[in-house]
Amino acid sequence: MDWSFDPNRPQLSHYPSRAENPDALPDLETSLKTIGEYQRRLWANREKALLLVVHGPDASGKDSLIRTLATYMDPAGFHAWSFSRPTGSETRHDFLWRVTPFLPAFGEVSAFNRSHHEAVIAERAWPVWHAGPGELRGRYTSLRQFEQHLAREGTCILKFWLHTSEQEHEKRLRKRLDKPHKRWKFDPSDIEGWQRREELLGYAEEAIAATHISEAPWHIIPADKKPEARAIVAGLLADTLKTLAPEYPEGNETVLSRYRQLLDDT
């Protein structure tokens, strides 16, 4: 199945919020074990890096998705970071400044829960500073060039939009209010985001279309059913890791022979 964004279908309403054939989805547990194995190979080789960018409306399942993907990963080579509205010193730098220190090093997988793309989505609804149309176009150019640069230098980028229906979005927000173990996640901005849902989705559609490039493609993931979304993303991540680190690095036989001899002599 192809979950890639289609520039000929720029509106998110054109994409399903549930998998049309869930029985055909990759097996989640198999994909997670594959991710764990090949992430260790990536960590051992230290030649490539992988950046996961996860976006979606409030309560679309970003946290739980990233937590699931990390099930079998070696924590030494995996990191997850969240980016909300810029504050403090973040507002006194260019919009890419705040994410740069958290990019994955070679051998690492990093997951961004929201990302540098917030500058052309949420920040349009809640601006940190007032920007005109020219600056918005400039940010789209900067985003494309930034990700093209990362790709040239050895970082593979996968971008996911978790697509939820209006009904499911409302249902999950109500759970945050009604269930004590979920209430800690609730923020008043969630309600404003709900009230401005169509506006924010419009910004997201524009941003996805403007930053969908071959070096860093967007994938539109049906997310009304969290297990389906996790299975889809895990399958894509597993397939990508296989291409980045197919084998463990070969050892230096001279060095290995020396250590064997030292062990034999003890």
* pLDDT tens, position by position, 199-220: 999 999 999 999 999 999 999 9
pLDDT (0 to 100) of residue 14: 95
- pTM comes to 0.93
Q: Which of 223, 179, 202 is nearest to 125 (CA)?
A: 202
Task: Answer yes or no: are the C-beta atoms of 217 and 5 closer than 8 Å.
Answer: yes
Given pLDDT bands bounded at 50, 70 and 90, which one contains residue 131? low
**Amino acid in position 222:** P
Q: What is the C-alpha to C-alpha distance for residues 47 and 37, in angstroms, rounded to an integer?
A: 16
* More confident of the two residues 127 and 35: 35
CA 159 vs. chain centroid, Å, equals 5
pLDDT over 80 at 132, yes or no: no
Interacting residues of 162 by C-beta distance below 8 A, sequence separation 6+: 54, 55, 56, 57, 60, 61, 62, 65, 221, 223, 229
pLDDT (0 to 100) of residue 40: 98
pLDDT over 90 at 257, yes or no: no
Q: What is the C-alpha to C-alpha distance for residues 50 and 39, in angstroms, rounded to an integer?
A: 9
Tokens of 106: 């070679």
Q: What is the pLDDT of residues 20-64, one digit of tens each?
A: 999 999 999 999 999 999 999 999 999 999 999 999 999 999 999
CA distances from 250 to 118, 217, 258 (A): 41, 32, 16
pLDDT over 70 at 130, yes or no: no
**Amino acid in position 188:** P
Interacting residues of 92 by C-beta distance below 8 A, sequence separation 6+: none
